[in-house]
Structures are given as C-alpha cells and as structure tokens.
Amino acid sequence: MTAAIKQAAQRTPLVLALDFDMTLTISDTISNVAETARRKNPEYRDFQWFVNEYIKDHRTFYTQWEPQIAEHRTKGTVDRSFMDKYLEALRPVETASLDRINRHGILANVTRAEFAAAGRDVQFRPGATTFINHFIHCSYNCSICVVSVNWSKDFIHGALSANGVDTEKGRISIYANDMEFGSTGLSTGRLAPKLVVAKDKGEVVEGFKREVTEEHGCNPLVVYAGDSPTDLPALLDADVGLLIGDNSSPIDWCGWLGVEFGVQRTGTKENSSVLYKLASWDKAIATVEGHLK
Ligand SMILES: [Mg+2]
C-alpha cells in the first residue's frame, strides 16, 4: 500500500451532497428543461402559463401561512418542527404544479441526449466546478451526489460535464425527478414526482449517507450545499452545511431559528454541526477541509 493510499484509507470518508439550481448554477434552470421540450412542441401551452399558475398557488399558500409565521416570530417560538411543518405544507402546491405539467404533456417528444445537450447552456457559479473537481481528485474517500427537484437527470449530467466537472473520474450520483421515456426513446411527457419538497431531499441525503457508511464501515462527514428553504433541513442536519449565495429566505429562517452561521451547534468535537453562509464558492474548499482530519 502506498503512503498516499494508506493516508486516504485512514481518513474519514466524505459525502458531498449538492443542490443544483442556484447552488451550482447562477440561475434557476427548470425553464431551460421546459424550453427544450417547447422547441419540439410549439403548439403546446406556453411554459409561462405554468409558471404563473404556480406563482398564484404559492401566493395563496403564503397568505395562509403568513399570520402563523408572524405569530411564532413574535413569540420567539419558531423551531425546527414548525419549519418542517411549513415546508411539508408546500407539497400540494408543488404536486399541483407537476400535475399540470403532466396533464398537458409539455415535456413530451424529447430524447435523453437532447436534454443532456440542453444542459450545455447552463452556467455554473464561479468556483463551483473547482470545488467539485478538487474533491474528485483529492485523496479523500469522497462520494458525491446532486440532490435536486429539477426535472431531468440527463440535463443535470449534461450541465455538470459542460461546466468542466470531471464526471468521468468522479462518480456522481444524481437524484432528481425524471421523465418517463417510451420505447422510441422519446419522453412521454410524464414526470414521476420523487423529489418535491425539503423532506424528500433530506431523505435522499440520509439514504446516501447510509450507503457510504456501509461501504466504508464508518460514518462519513456529510457536507451539504444549498441555497433555498427547500435545502434548510438538509443544511441543518449535515455535519457541515454550506448556504450558498444571498437568498434572503433561508437566511431569515436561520435568524428566526436562532442558528448562528459558522458556530458549532450540537454534539461533541467528533460530531459537530455547523452552517456556514458563503456568498460564493471561493472559500468552500478551505471551509470543508477545516473539518477533515
Ligand atoms: Mg436550489
């Protein structure tokens, strides 16, 4: 065994779980997926209609929840279980949106290769690729997964490759919703909703962690990077959470929950939970390496 392999074998395994939209990418890319299909189906209803319906449902949802949030904030009783309840209550809003997409079949008639090719137009945040490739090529026992509510695994894979992520060397598991494809190789227009709300993302990360634990025979250090409230439970449950960007909503929730950025919250030295707020990916490598033995 070489010294490098010995060193790697002794190191704590590392799990990098990464949200996709607005965490790795500079903008939300669901519309890119929809537009790819729209070019094949110009006669179908415009995607903006689906966006507008979703926004309407979301406004209604928020109007219903706003008084409860205000009350809990006033009393200082915003806690994890209240936040989890709020995030889970979004499920019907998200499911209704996916039902509309399915009913109208607007994602039909596209091949996997075409979705992957569309991923080439996606632009990553500066430093995101450097971060992923660093851990692919370093001597840590690193397992990487992308956990996304996006609609196409092929699209995500295409975007990772096009942005220079070494998907050949690094095994990256992609967990996302995905299209159904017929025997002709074309999408049927049906999308099976698997990852819809925060709880679904958290469960994926837990499952991935269990697999890595079994593979290595010890608990990995779990790093989760995300940008939105949908990522918050996973960010808080990770050993190291990286809240990327400047989305005010997760920052507000952290304030209401009393979570201080960069401060160890629970556990012992061996088992700490820390959430960092990073405006960009620049300091992410050093931040994670500070937690690796
Ligand atoms: Mg996101």
109/184 Cα distance (integer angstroms): 9
φ/ψ of 162, rounded to 5, equals -65, -25
* Cα 226 to ligand 1 centre (Å): 6
How many Å lie between the centroid of ligand 1 and the Cα of residue 244? 9
- Top pLDDT among 4 and 43 is at 43
Query: 17 by DSSP, 3-state: which?
Result: strand
CA–CA distance, 89 with 83 (Å, rounded to integer): 10
Q: How far is the CA of 91 from the centre of ligand 1 (A)?
A: 16
Question: Encoding tokens for residue 145?
Answer: 């997964």
Going from the N-terminus, what domains does the chain have, and what CATH number goes with each?
A: 3-289 (3.40.50.1000)
2-19 confidence digits (pLDDT tens): 555 455 556 789 999 999
- Number of other CB atoms surrounding residue 5 within 10 Å: 10
If you measure from the C-alpha of residue 20 to the centroid of ligand 1, how many angstroms do you get, rounded to a whole number? 6
DSSP per-residue string spanning 132-200: HHHHHHSSS-EEEEEE---S-HHHHHHHHHHTT--TTTS-EEEE--EEEE-TTSBEEEEEE----SHHH
Please give the torsion angle defined by the CA atoms of residues 152, 147, 23 and 275, in that order, rounded to the nearest 10 degrees. 170
Distance 5 CA to ligand 1 centre (A): 35
How far is the centre of ligand 1, averaged over its atoms, from the C-alpha of 1 (Å)? 41
pLDDT tens digit sequence for 249-270: 999 999 999 999 999 987 555 5
Q: Where are the beta strands (DSSP E) in the chain?
A: 14-18, 142-147, 172-175, 178-181, 187-192, 221-226, 240-244, 274-278
Q: Each residue of 207-251: pLDDT tens digit?
A: 999 999 999 999 999 999 999 999 999 999 999 999 999 999 999
Which is nearest to 101 in space by CA: 38, 19, 175, 159? 38
pLDDT on residue 266: 74
d(CA 84, CA 77): 13
